[in-house]
Structure 1
Amino acid sequence: MLLGPAAPDSSADGHVDDAVQGVRHDTFTVDFHLADSPGTVFGAFADTPVRRRWFKLPGRQVSYDHDFTVNGGETASSVFTVAGAAPERLAYSSRYLDIVSGSRIVYTYTARVDDLPRWVSLVTVELRPEADGTRLRWTEQAAFLTPSASPDDDLPHLRGATRLRLNGLAAALRPT
Structure 2
Amino acid sequence: MNDQDTAPGRPADALDVRHDTFTVSRRLDASPAAVFAAFADTAIRRRWFKLPGAGATYQHEFGVGGGETAQSTFTVMDAPPEHLDYRSRYIDIVPDQRIVFAYESTVNDVRRWTSLVTVLLADEAGSTRLTWTEQVTFLTRTGDGSADLPHLRGGTALRLNGLAAALQPPA
Match of 2:77, SS state, is: coil
Shift of 1:19: 2.2
- Counterpart of 2:39 in structure 1 is 45
- Counterpart of 1:155 in structure 2 is 149
Shift of 1:131: 1.8
- Counterpart of 1:62 in structure 2 is 56
Match of 1:19, SS state, is: coil
Shift of 1:62: 3.1
Task: Identify unmatched segments of 5+ residues in structure 1.
Answer: 1-17
Match of 2:147, SS state, is: helix
- Provide the rounded CA distance (Å) in 1 between the counterparts of 2:119 and 2:131: 6
Shift of 1:132: 4.3
Rg larger for? 1
- Counterpart of 1:14 in structure 2 is none
- Counterpart of 1:19 in structure 2 is 12
Shift of 1:20: 1.6
- Provide the rounded CA distance (Å) in 2 between the counterparts of 1:132 and 1:151: 41
| Structure 1 runs, 4 residues or longer, greater than 4 Å off | none
- Provide the rounded CA distance (Å) in 2 between the counterparts of 1:20 and 1:175: 50
- RMSD value, Cα: 1.1
Shift of 1:83: 1.0
Match 2:167 to one of 164, 168, 173: 173
Match of 1:82, SS state, is: coil
Note the 1:66-145 alignment, pairs <5 A: 66-145=60-139
- Provide the rounded CA distance (Å) in 1 between the counterparts of 2:125 and 2:151: 32
TM-score, with structure 1 as normaliser: 0.88
Q: Greater shift after overlay, 55-64 or 85-94?
A: 55-64
- Provide the rounded CA distance (Å) in 2 between the counterparts of 1:150 and 1:84: 21
Give aligned-pair identity as a percent: 61
- Provide the rounded CA distance (Å) in 1 between the counterparts of 2:35 and 2:20: 26
- Provide the rounded CA distance (Å) in 1 between the counterparts of 2:132 and 2:162: 14
For 1:19, the aligned partner's letter is A
Task: Identify unmatched segments of 5+ residues in structure 2.
Answer: 1-10
Match of 1:152, SS state, is: coil
Q: Which has the higher contact order (CA 8 A, sep 6+)?
A: 2
